[in-house]
Amino acid sequence: MKKILITANSSLFVHQHLTYLISVLSSRYQIILFLPEDKYIYDLPAGVILKCFPFERNPSLFDLVAFIRFFWLRALSRCSLTLSFTPKCSLFNAFTFFLSGYTIHYFTGIRWQLFRGYRRVFFRFLDYLVYVLADNVFFDSYSQARYFLASVASSANIFDVVISPGSLSGVDRSVFKPRDINYLFLSNFNSRSPCLGKLLSLPQHAIPFVFGYVGRICVDKGILVLLHSFKEHLISYPDSFLVLVGPLELGQVHMDLLFSAQNVVHIDFVDDTSSIYSVFDCYVSASFREGFGSSLLEAMSCGLPVISTDISGPRDFVFNSFNGVLVMPEHSCSLLSALNFVVSNPSKLKQFSSNALSTAAMFDSRIVVKSFQSAIDYCLD
């Protein structure tokens, strides 16, 4: 049986995006996972080998030790194919291209899109090295691929570097589906936000409009822009609430801003988000960059209309005035207009919701993973 070595910089990434793909590939290939930890690794398919060696998400001198460990694992396992995800692992993979097996990197985002000056040049050069050294690369979305190929002046055919229809893992529509759940479901979660008690104590006849976001709570995800726009939104629509779900990656000043914000609720990491989407009336992402935007797709599969920044990834499946609203990135006024629009247009919201479900069906995980498996099979045949 041929072997495939898969590496990523966190077990959470594997849990959220690769579980189904690994289960499908493991029926035909011997899978070896190289990860920094196993915190979110639960039920691996029989025969999958897990190798853990600690390394951090951000650069450090310890990365050299992790790279040596990866080098020996790849050299000794003699895999037919090595597949990497996430930036640091792309370098591990690309810099060992001369060892046995096919080298593939899957770009789940372009980190240097937001950088300026020498920092942008340096990180773009690293990605260019990966692009050149790997036998093949794939991108999460067509818009992301266009951006990257144009930046490195490549003439590659875009259809050769995106596994149709786009998205790493698609969305499991048997899990992410519309449910009859309201905001009272949030009582199942702990929160430091004083506004959660306010939301849960509303009288039965009160029906608040709840905006939601699921993901990393950090500056790059546009959280500060979202908080500012939502604050302005409350002037006209004081009964709206904003629920943010995910780990905090903010400085103390910005965390104080979040916890003092009116009608804003933060809930820490939730392992199973499939139910919490149905608490929301509209999903909103103010992110500055994405690879694809999986949480947007999950929300749409739950029947939610969405608000998203018009950036690479989301613009491939969020269509303005069809299944949601696209806004300019880093533009609080544009986002404010969208927040006000969806609250004041309930009939449009129903139309967006119906269209969101039909869009999500195009990215069913079975379709996406089957295409991914076909791409792997083609490389190894």
Instruction: Note whether 64 and 86 are same-domain residues.
Output: yes
Split into its structural domains, the chain has a count of 2
CA 327 → CA 191, 337, 366, distances in Å?
A: 29, 9, 30
The residue whose two tokens read 């500056």 is 219
Burial of 37 from C-beta contacts in 10 A (0-12 / 13-18 / 19+): middle
What is the per-residue pLDDT across 120-175, written as a single tens digit (0 to 9) for each? 999 999 999 999 999 999 999 999 999 999 998 788 888 889 998 888 889 999 99
Instruction: Note whether 306 and 202 are same-domain residues.
Output: yes
Instruction: Note whether 210 and 150 are same-domain residues.
Output: no
CA 276 → CA 10, 134, 176, 203, 221, distances in Å?
A: 23, 39, 10, 21, 19
Kindly state whether residue 178 falls inside one of the protein's structural domains: no
CA gyration radius, the chain:
21
Kindly state whether residue 275 falls inside one of the protein's structural domains: yes
Is the pTM for the entire model greater than 0.75? Answer: yes
Residue 204 pLDDT: 64
Give me the DSSP letters along 132-165: HHSSEEEES-HHHHHHHHHHTT----GGGSB-TT
Kindly state whether residue 177 falls inside one of the protein's structural domains: no
Q: Which residues partner with 32 through β-bridges?
A: 5, 49
Please identify every stretch of the chain with a pLDDT value under 70, giving residue numbers as ranges: 204-205
**Residue 127's domain spans which residues?**
3-170+365-380
Instruction: Note whether 254 and 369 are same-domain residues.
Output: no
Instruction: Note whether 156 and 12 are same-domain residues.
Output: yes
Separation between Cα atoms, residue 381 and residue 377, nearest integer Å: 6
Residue 8 pLDDT: 96
Separation between Cα atoms, residue 14 and residue 21, nearest integer Å: 10
Instruction: Note whether 96 and 161 are same-domain residues.
Output: yes
| SS3 category, 362 | coil
**Nearest CA to 88 among 28, 156, 13?**
13
CB 283 within 8 A of CB 304: yes
Kindly state whether residue 20 falls inside one of the protein's structural domains: yes
Separation between Cα atoms, residue 179 and residue 214, nearest integer Å: 17
Separation between Cα atoms, residue 83 and residue 372, nearest integer Å: 12
Instruction: Note whether 260 and 148 are same-domain residues.
Output: no
